[in-house]
Amino acid sequence: MEIDFIIFNIPVIILEQGALAAGFLASLFYIRALDLRAYGEMIKDAAIVGAIAMVLFVPIVGLVLKDRSLVFQIERSLMLVGAVAVGRLHISGAVRARVGIRILWRLALVGISETFAFFFFPEPQRNLIVLVVLVVLAIVFALEALLRSGEKLDSIGSKIMGAWPAVISRAKGRQGYLMFFLVGLLVLLPFEPFINSENPFITDYHLGTLTQTLIYILLAMGLNIVVGLAGLLDLGFVAFYAVGAYGYALITLHLGEFGIGFWWALPITASLAAFAGCMLGFPVLRMHGDYLAIVTLGFGEIIRILLVNMIDFTNGPNGMSAPRPTLMGLEFTRRAKEGGVPLHEYFDIPYDATYRYVFIYLVALALALAAIFVFRRLREMPIGRAWEALREDETASKALGINHTTVKLSAFTLGAAFAGVGGVLFAANEGFISPSSFTFVESAIILSIVVLGGMGSITGVIIAAAILTLLPELFRDLQQYRMLGFGLAMVFIMIWRPGGLIKVRRRAFVRRDSARGASNPALGEAD
């Protein structure tokens, strides 16, 4: 065992043992806490989900190409099906159990997976698996925060540990489940090539494309603030995307020696883009509709032309290279730059370019989820309501004491910050950027995503982003008709669903009965 692994393993082993013990305890509580009928339901649930998983997994994972012939390997797919069914059992059980037990159970899950890794994988890979489990758990926690919006939890303990099953069991029910499984699927998706290493279903190309889709979701969430909520038609959104991408390339180029890498560049560049958004906001404060559209269009072009012409600074039309992101200082290259350590050497595993794609994909997924989360919160916050009020009637909102200057500027600023993050991801994903990536067409695509998806909507925008970025990949041969396709899609959507694919459903407020009792002279109750 090498030095590195000892350092890494000791806490993990302690965690494992502790978690196993906790898990054992939890299982006892778990079983006691539930009555028989609940058990029946749980098992039925798990069986149904397992059956669905069987149908899905057996053909995909079970069939393996070996020496030019298909071999049927049932064990592997059954293992997966088992995992899914057990997972479902866990969820439905946890929904029914109390918070404390849920926390123990969560710990047990860590322990079980660690032990699983311990028995089934050789030494070096084990560390990777442990790492992956921890990352997945971190994402699960993030997801909880996403699902938990608006919910009050009963204790600080449950707040820290989270309790997604409880959240799912709330009124949202199905939607919460669906979301959880979708996100879970997206998180696990990139690991498929490792499980199915002989004949991976998902290739680096797929991961790259999906990453780009996630970047578009991120961008669309930003533009959704400006266009969807605040109603400011912005045709130059790509400018902030460019600021993000070039900001990343320039910052890492000039400040790289001070240790400013991907993770530092992310907030710095987002702030840069936000600043650019604010600057654009000032001159257009008093503009509406067509005029605003034309000025923002011009702004987008100005930025692009600056990038082309400031050759000393941006290398002009030849573009710049942008560094790839690192994981806690570990690089994803075969051989590291001087001073760096490549990931595969650190973990003593063979080099595989896929790691990098998986990593960027996961980073993009996390940031896109964060963007969705922030957008969702914004929409329900005072500032979000003020944006919508401004869109509906600027004068009336001023007469309610809303400062239209700050409200408008904040829409431009926050929207641009999203675009800045998108730009950094784009640059890191591509490794190379040039002004030709930031033309008006790009603005048009992002705007189409928002308009087609439904202004202000989240689900609609995600669907539209997926359609508009994945379909062109499927029909690569028809590439020259791409814009035509967009145009047609726009026209049809405008005819068929003028509000976009999914019209925003307004948040419903429920009146608490205890607070009732206002006098009601209009209905004559006061008398």
Q: What radius of gyration do the chain's Cα atoms show?
A: 26
| Number of Cα atoms under 13 Å in the Cβ half of residue 64 | 16
Binding letters toward other proteins, positions 404-423, x by CB under 8 A: xxx---x-------------
- Sole binder of other proteins in the list 389, 451, 452, 493 (CB under 8 A): 389
Choose between 89 and 266: whose C-beta lies nearer to other proteins: 266
**C-alpha separations of 74 from 49, 82, 194 in Å:** 18, 12, 17
Pairing between β-strand 320-321 and β-strand 69-72 as defined by DSSP bridges: unpaired
User: 332-338: long-range contacts (C-beta < 8 A, 24 or more apart)?
Assistant: 332/356, 332/359
Smaller CB separation from other proteins, 124 or 499: 499
Pick the closer one to other proteins by CB: 2 or 392.
392
Dmax over CA atoms of the chain, in Å, equals 89
Q: Give least dist CB 520 to other proteins, A.
A: 6
* Concatenated DSSP letters of 34-55: S-HHHHHHHHHHHHHHHHHHHH
The nearest distance, CB 414 to other proteins, in angstroms, is: 8
Would you say 58 or 146 has its CB closer to other proteins?
A: 146
Q: Which of 6, 36, 400, 495 binds other proteins (CB under 8 A)?
A: 400
Q: Which long-range contacts (CB under 8 A, 24 or more apart) does 47-54 make?
A: 47/85, 49/84, 49/85, 49/88, 50/81, 50/82, 50/84, 50/85, 50/88, 53/80, 53/81, 53/84, 53/85, 54/81
DSSP code at position 285? T
Q: How far apart are CA 170 and CA 176, in angstroms?
A: 8
Which range binds other proteins by CB under 8 A, 38-46, 184-192, 289-297, 393-401? Answer: 393-401
For residue 451, the minimal CB distance to other proteins (Å) is 16
| CB contact set of 90 (below 8 Å; sequence gap of 6+) | 105, 109
Neighbour tally for 363: CB within 10 Å: 21
Sign of CA pseudo-dihedral 91, 97, 98, 104: negative
Rank residues 77 and 397 by Cβ distance to other proteins and give the closer one.
397
Tell me which residue of 341, 322, 198 sits closest to 269, measured CA to CA: 322
Which of 476/511 has CB closer to other proteins? 511
CA distance 191 to 195: 7
Count of CB atoms situated within 10 Å of the CB of 71: 12
Convert 131-183 into a string of H (helix), E (strand) and C (coil): HHHHHHHHHHHHHHHHHCCCCCCCCHHHHHHCCHHHHHCCCCCHHHHHHHHHH
Closest CB 281 distance from other proteins, rounded Å = 11
Considering the complex, state which of residue 22 and residue 386 has its C-beta at the smaller distance from other proteins: 386
Residue 170 beta carbon to other proteins: minimum distance, rounded to whole angstroms: 16
Write down the least CB distance from residue 221 to other proteins, Å: 13
Q: How far is the CB of 148 from other proteins (least distance, A)?
A: 9
Query: Which one among 122, 350, 395, 477 touches other proteins, defined by CB under 8 A?
Result: 395
Q: How far is the CB of 47 from other proteins (least distance, A)?
A: 38
Indicate the residue among 52 and 370 with the shorter CB distance to other proteins: 370
Q: Tell me whether residue 127 or residue 410 sits nearer to other proteins (CB atom).
A: 410
Nearest to 181 by CA among 357, 56, 364, 305: 56
- β-pairing verdict for 330-331 and 341-342: parallel
Give me the least distance between CB of 74 and other proteins, in Å please: 48
Q: How far is the CB of 152 from other proteins (least distance, A)?
A: 8
Nearer to other proteins, 327 or 414 (CB): 414
Q: Which of residues 346-385 bind other proteins (CB under 8 A)?
A: 374, 377-378, 381-383, 385
The residues near 297 (Cβ < 8 Å, ≥ 6 apart) are 235, 236, 440, 443
Binding test (CB under 8 A) with other proteins, winner from 388, 439, 470, 471: 388
| Pairing of β 432-433 and β 320-321 | antiparallel
Per-residue binding string, other proteins, 506-525, x by CB under 8 A, is xxxx-x---xx-xxxxxxx-
123 vs 151, which CB is nearer to other proteins? 151
> What sign does the dihedral 81-82-87-90 (CA atoms) show?
positive
Q: Considering beta carbons, is residue 309 or 520 the nearer one to other proteins?
A: 520
Contact flags string 112-151 toward other proteins, x per CB under 8 A: -------------------------------------xx-
Number of residues that bind other proteins (CB under 8 A): 43
Query: Tell me, what amino acid is at 367?
Result: L
Comparing CB distances to other proteins, the nearer of 370 and 470 is: 370
Residue 509 Cβ, how far from other proteins at the closest point, in Å?
5
CB of 461 to other proteins, least distance (A): 17
| Interacting residues with other proteins between 489 and 508 (CB under 8 A) | 506-508
Q: By CB under 8 A, tell whether 258 contacts other proteins.
A: no
Name the residues that contact other proteins, by CB under 8 A. 149-150, 152, 374, 377-378, 381-383, 385-386, 388-389, 392-393, 395-406, 410, 506-509, 511, 515-516, 518-524, 526
